[in-house]
Structures are given as C-alpha cells and as structure tokens.
Structure 1
C-alpha cells in the first residue's frame, strides 16, 4: 500500500504520511460541511458532544498499536535471524581451524563467497522479498564438503570436525531461512484501510465539533494531521525490515568478512 514511499528520502516519507492524514482531514471537513448544508443541525445547532471524539480515538489508537506491535515483532525477528546467522558463521570459522590446510582453504573460500553474496546481492533482493540462488548453492556446497570429509576419513578428530561443520552449516541455513521469512513480512492492506478509515472518522468528529469556529478547526485538524502523520510514518518505516531507511544492515556479517 505504501510501496512508493520506500524509494523516498526519510524527510519525504514523513511529509507523505503527514499529507496523507491531512488529505483525510480535508476530505472529512468537506464531507461534514456538505452534510450540514444538506441536513442542517436545527435552530439550537446542537453539536456532537466532546466524548464522541475520545470514543473514536480509543479504537483508533488500539488498532494502530496492534499494527505497530506486529511490525516491531517482525523487525525483531529479522534482527535476531541476522545475529544468529553471523554466530553460526563464526562457529563454522572456528571449526575450520581443525581441518587440513587444503580443506581449510576450500571451506574458508566458500564461506567468504557466501558472506559476500549475501551482503552484496541477497540483501538488496530481500527488499523485494527475493533471495539469491547462489547463496543457497554455496550452503549446499558446504554441506556436501562436510559429509564428504565425515565419510571419507577414519580420523576421529576430522570426523568430529566434519560433524560440527555440518551442524553449523545447518544453523546457517536455518537462520538464513528465518531472515528470508522476515523479509516477506508486510502489514496487510486491510489493516491499513482500517487505520485510515478510523482516522477519517476521527477527522469528521473534529470537523463537526469545531465547524463554527475557524481557528480551533484549523488548529485541531493541523495538529491531528501532524500527530497521526508522524505515527503513520513511524509504523510504515518499520513495516519492511530490509527495505527503506530503517533497513537492518548486515553489520555482523561484514565484521566476520573483515576478520576472515
């Protein structure tokens, strides 16, 4: 629903969210003004009671809180997966030290290629919910190497090292799968529609309450747009853990590549 915003600078994304709520407020003002002409309030001009505003803002806040909670949980899952992947790679690098020189060089080369592929190519792909087949193949290569070492030697030390290599490669695969799953996380359009409808209704109530007083009307709608626009910006910017200005960076993997 907000796909176009993730290519914008941070300030522009904030401005779009504020303008979006502002447009809802203007639409609500126009609707309530037209409704007054078509259905006048009567001689006594009774207004909506102020408790109506708090009554609509409460479910609005609850719905936004639920959406934000889902987003931040998804973001936390993505960050945890990245850290677990880096830990598994670091464990694999420690095991490699117990392998013969030729095998050690081969495994280290595959690991370095995997980290570079993930950082340079898979990370941008995750913004669109895609993954790198090359990274997948490199993990399969590591698994084949570990099985080949384990079944091709009688040395207990090499067998144990190969077994650990296979186990840590599996850990890398599991962490990568969790990272890729987190990259697919999106807020459902129905949730965004519900939030926008509730904001529109709240703007309608504000417009009706202050329709007869221009200054309070303008100030209340402007502050309403700014406040809830900032809220939408905060929620939307964390909607995709591997996209936009709040992207999860591969810092821990980059550190391992430098150390290697």
Structure 2
C-alpha cells in the first residue's frame, strides 16, 4: 500500500520532478551497490566472485528489456486510446450542437443549455474524480441525459427535423460511449507488481555489474553509472505516460475536451 501511494505521488508530479526523483533514486541505488561491493566484500570473497562472467548480464538484460517493452507498449497504447476517445467525445458533442441548429428554437435552446451543464459537470466534478481514479459510471449523466430527454419528447414537424432528431440522438449516444471509455482509461495504470518486477530486475543487473568488476573499482563505477542511467531513462518514460488523465507527467487535461467546444 505504501509503495502504491509512493507511485501515485511520483506520477502526480510535473515531468521534470518525475525525472529528478527517478534519476536520483537510480543513482542512489548504484552508489549503494558500489559502496557495499567496496566495503563489505573481503579479498577472499572477491576472488570467488571474480568467477562470474559478463555473460550473466545477457539473460538479465533480455528479461528486463522484455518486461519494460511489455509494460511500455501497454502504457503508450492506453495514452493513444485516451487521446482518441477525447477527440471522439469532442466530435460528437460538436455534432450535437451543430445538429440542434436544425431544430426549433426552444428545443435548440434546451439542448445547448443541457450540453453546457454537461461540460460544467465534467470540468468541476468528473475530471477531478478521474485524477483520483474514482470517476463512476452513471445511468443518468448530467446534461446529456437531459438533452436526450428533450429530443425524445420533441415531435418533428417535417422530414428534415426528423433526420436531425435521429442524428442528434445517435451523436449523444456516441458521446456517452466515448465518456464511458474515457472513465475506464482513467483507471488504467501499471500494476504495482509490474513496477516491483522491473525494480528487482534492475537491481539484479546493478549487482551483477558490481560482481563482474569487483576488482576494478573505476570500471565498476563507470558501468554502474551507465546502467543506472539507462534504467532511469526507461522508468521516466513509463512514469510520465502511465496515467493519461493524471495530474502529472504527460496528461490529457480537461481543456482537451472543454477548450475545443464553443457554445454560443
């Protein structure tokens, strides 16, 4: 639980803070491994450990690379899907507003007011709930449900109004579906166990590098620095893209939806 809270705190920070924390943690781990290797290992144990060959790094690096690649592909896919879902929601809401212009003035006014309530609800309540991964599916969505009720109670007077009514209802249904996918994606993240696996594999690689160069401190220090930097870069890429609708890293903010819709 504490590890999960720490992850949430890190991911809620700006990208530069995430990078500083991650690089600092990786360099700290490398420094601890170096100091332990130099201080705690006796001459006799060092001679025994020298039998370890650099080939040991190959399976560790392959395993680590596969795990990071698997997690990264899922993370970036979620981010791309989140961007696409928001674009779909914007397109459908704009279509609702545009099609409402083909309906009588009183119906048009009610629909525009309903869409305004939906956007206000999204800005003031739903997006903050998404940041906390606590947004809920609703059977009644403020604004959109009202707009649908207005359309269903409207009796078209000509074929043009009937077509506009049908297409507007379809656009609202698609907007509701896009909202549902947006909420589901707000809960998507890298599982704590996946982070633990990556961290453990990274630590094993650092320890293996220290063992391989146990009798060559300068080479050990340089290789630990290089490897810890590479691990930090990978972790930063995952952390800044992990939660598409989070408050840190590369997030999709409410302006992505609200800033593109203009209601006169």
Structure 2 CA distance for partners of 1:134 and 1:255, relative to 1, 3 Å: farther
| Aligned partner (choices 188, 192, 203) of residue 189 of structure 1 | 192
Hey, what's the Cα distance between the residues in 2 that align with 1:51 and 1:131?
Answer: 49
1:13 aligns to what? 18
User: Which residue pairs with 1:173 in the alignment?
Assistant: 176
1:22 counterpart (24, 27, 30):
27
Cα distance in 1, alignment partners of residues 16 and 140 from structure 2: 35
Q: Aligned partners of 2:104, 2:157: CA distance in 1, in Å?
A: 14
Deviations 1:203-226 (A, max 9, x none): 111010112122111121122222
Match of residue 239 from structure 1: 242
SS state at 1:98 partner: coil
Cα shift at 1:237: 0.9
Question: Which ranges in structure 2 are unaligned for 5 or more consecutive residues?
Answer: none
Please, which of 134, 141, 147 is the counterpart of residue 142 of structure 1?
A: 147
Aligned to 1:108: 112
Q: How far 1:22 sits from its partner (Å)?
A: 2.7
- TM-score by structure 1 length? 0.88
Shift of 1:177: 0.5
Q: Please give the secondary structure, in 2, of the residue aligned with 1:199.
A: helix
Is the CA contact (8 Å cut-off) linking 1:117 and 1:135 kept in structure 2? no
Counterparts of 2:40 and 2:132, CA distance in 1: 44
RMSD of Structure 2 on Structure 1 (CA)? 2.5
Is the counterpart of residue 122 in structure 1 residue 134 in structure 2? no
| 1:1-260 alignment runs, 5 A limit | 1=4, 2-29=7-34, 36-37=41-42, 40-42=45-47, 46-131=50-135, 136-149=141-154, 152-153=155-156, 155-243=158-246, 244-258=248-262, 260=264
Match of 2:142, SS state, is helix
CA distance in 2, matches of 1:135, 1:121: 15
TM-aligned CA deviation for residue 169 of structure 1:
0.6
Report the Cα distance in structure 2 between the residues aligned to 1:34 and 1:148, rounded to whole angstroms.
Answer: 80
How many angstroms apart in 1 are the aligned matches of 2:34 and 2:70? 28
Contact 2:112 2:263 in 1 (8 A): no
CA shift for structure 1 position 12: 1.9
Deviations 1:75-97, CA, capped at 9 Å, x for gaps? 11111100110111111122101
Cα distance in structure 1, aligned partners of 2:57 and 2:36:
17
Distance, in Å, in 2 between the alignment partners of 1:220 and 1:128 is 40
The offset of 1:54, in angstroms, is 2.3
Q: How far apart in 2 are the matches of 1:118 and 1:135?
A: 14
How far apart, in 1, do the equivalents of 2:228 and 2:47 lie? 30
